[in-house]
């Protein structure tokens, strides 16, 4: 029942930065499929999780102020709405969310041991393992009553076997418990043409339509969905072991997905055409900047930009380097096209004319932080929702016509 929607040819692992430019990189075709049965959009032929989430994993969610605030607010809301007496977080990363819960009654699961050490040091019992039914049985030996809140942020969409994942949740959720998780939304990805949400780690990009079916066949009932602005448009999903009335906002989202045509193949065929155009537009605009002698760099060495640069064929001729605040990424080379990654202190200076928003999902935070750059004439370029140049003025077409004057 799987239909191929789009293929991104020969992409490297999205977060495997190179320490030496001469290192060779394995690349894979990233095939995105649509399951006509469940309506789930997924990556096929997944790379084994241990290669995607190694013990020196580099993505640290605490690098953005927006996310720090977001998870604090989320934790407060969950405390207030559900009063959980015990909590389990799947994929706790650097502890950005879990730190708002009592370590005596809260447990973490984090397969990347460098991050598992961080939450363990913060006082949370942390299982440095991948989430699956086997682990849920192991945890149950020590926590036989299960948990009132099982939470996961930007994590469930990374898990390839969803039936096993949801069975494991069911196994550890208390009878009054709630399973709350958030991930990028498929409809927002389509509307924004943000094809860079597709990379190896994102085994799926979820619609609520697909999740409802998948949860239900594993004994979990979706009852509410909260739309979120983070990461280019996400959904926070609420499910429990007993069927309860669905909220109006969930019903509205399901209707929007159906009206948009997320259950129809033709919608994805149109999306694939828009992606192809985005690739051509981005390459052409960067080429034009290059021919005019502008210095172009990228801001944020993201997983998303690995897809963009490799898919569009953007190398260090068009973008000189990437700046990123994550120390573990600095001094390395981006996967595939091998753009050097440097700290903002080293690379974001007055010589930069144009910066590509690799972390376009933090546009507001970044533009506020770098307001001086814009005031002195610096420009941004983004491909979301279409290729355009931003700065003291927005240009959609041929910015150099005015800039050259
Ligand atoms: P960001 C990662 O994707 C991987 P990425 C993962 N698979 C996932 O699902 C999402 O996160 C949630 C830097 N930065 O969040 C920090 C600056 O340099 O868009 C990060 O390296 N300056 C788990 O990698 C990167 O940009 C800044 O001011 O696509 C942002 O990465 C800010 C705000 C960020 O996720």
CA distance 23 to 333: 10
| Rounded (5°) CA angle 95-97-103 | 70
User: How many Å lie between the centroid of ligand 1 and the Cα of residue 122?
Assistant: 23
Asked if pLDDT for residue 370 goes beyond 80, the answer is yes
Asked if pLDDT for residue 405 goes beyond 60, the answer is no
User: How many Å lie between the centroid of ligand 1 and the Cα of residue 301?
Assistant: 7
CA distance 255 to 260: 9
Share of the chain above pLDDT 70, in %: 97
Q: Dump strand ranges (E) for 213-279.
A: 221-228, 234-240
User: How many Å lie between the centroid of ligand 1 and the Cα of residue 302?
Assistant: 5
User: How many Å lie between the centroid of ligand 1 and the Cα of residue 337?
Assistant: 18
Give the pLDDT confidence of 147-156 residue by residue, as tens digits.
Answer: 999 999 999 9
Ligand 1 atom 12, closest CA: 154
Over residues 354-373, the mean pLDDT reads 97
> Residue 34 contacts by C-beta under 8 Å, 6 or more apart in sequence?
2, 3, 5, 40, 41, 265, 268
Helix (H, G, I), strand (E, B) or coil at 27: strand
Give the residue, out of 300, 305, 357, 366, with the most ligand 1 atoms within 8 A of its beta carbon, to mutate for a pocket test. 300
Over residues 374-392, the mean pLDDT reads 93
Give the pLDDT confidence of 105-155 residue by residue, as tens digits.
Answer: 999 999 999 999 999 999 999 999 999 999 999 999 999 999 999 999 999
CA distance 232 to 384: 9
- Which of ligand 1's atoms lies nearest the C-alpha of 300? 26
Query: Which helix (H) or strand (E) element contains residue 84?
Result: none
- pLDDT, residue 402, reads 65
Over residues 305-313, the mean pLDDT reads 98
User: What pTM does this model have?
Assistant: 0.96
User: How many Å lie between the centroid of ligand 1 and the Cα of residue 61?
Assistant: 7
Asked if pLDDT for residue 396 goes beyond 80, the answer is no
CA distance 28 to 45: 9
């Amino acid at each position: 029942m799987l239909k191929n929607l789009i293929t991104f040819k020969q992409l490297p692992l999205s977060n495997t930065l190179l320490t030496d430019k001469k290192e060779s990189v394995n690349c894979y075709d990233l095939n995105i499929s649509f399951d006509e049965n469940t309506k789930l959009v997924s990556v096929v032929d997944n790379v084994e999780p241990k290669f995607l989430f190694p013990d020196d994993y580099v993505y640290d969610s605490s690098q953005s102020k927006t996310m720090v605030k977001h998870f604090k607010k989320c934790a407060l809301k969950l405390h207030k709405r559900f009063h959980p007496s015990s909590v389990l977080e799947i994929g706790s990363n650097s502890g950005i969310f879990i730190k708002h819960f009592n370590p005596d009654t809260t447990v973490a699961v984090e397969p990347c041991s460098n991050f598992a050490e961080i939450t363990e040091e913060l006082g949370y019992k942390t299982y440095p393992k991948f989430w699956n039914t086997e682990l849920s049985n192991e945890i149950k030996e020590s926590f036989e009553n299960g948990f009132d809140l099982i939470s996961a942020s930007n994590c469930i969409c990374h898990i390839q076997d969803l039936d096993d994942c949801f069975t494991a949740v069911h196994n550890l959720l208390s009878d009054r418990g709630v399973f709350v998780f958030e991930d990028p939304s498929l409809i927002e990805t389509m509307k924004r043409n943000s094809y860079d949400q597709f990379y190896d780690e994102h085994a799926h990009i979820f619609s609520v339509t697909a999740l409802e079916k998948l949860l239900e066949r594993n004994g979990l009932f979706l009852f509410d969905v909260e739309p979120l602005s983070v990461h280019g448009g996400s959904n926070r999903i609420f499910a429990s072991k007993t069927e309860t009335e669905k909220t109006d906002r969930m019903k509205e989202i399901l209707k929007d997905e159906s009206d948009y045509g997320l259950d129809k193949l033709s919608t994805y065929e149109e999306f694939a055409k828009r992606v192809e155009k985005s690739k051509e537009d981005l390459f052409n605009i960067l080429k034009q900047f290059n021919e005019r002698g502008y210095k172009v760099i990228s801001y944020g060495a993201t997983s998303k930009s690995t897809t963009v640069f490799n898919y569009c064929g953007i190398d260090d001729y068009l973008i000189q380097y990437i700046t990123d605040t994550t120390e573990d990424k600095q001094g390395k080379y981006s996967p595939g096209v091998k753009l050097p990654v440097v700290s903002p202190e080293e690379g974001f200076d007055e010589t930069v004319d144009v910066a590509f928003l690799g972390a376009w999902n933090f546009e507001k935070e970044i533009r506020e932080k770098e307001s001086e750059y814009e005031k002195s004439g610096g420009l941004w370029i983004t491909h979301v929702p279409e290729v355009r140049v931003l700065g003291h003025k927005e240009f959609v077409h041929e910015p150099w016509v005015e800039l050259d004057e």
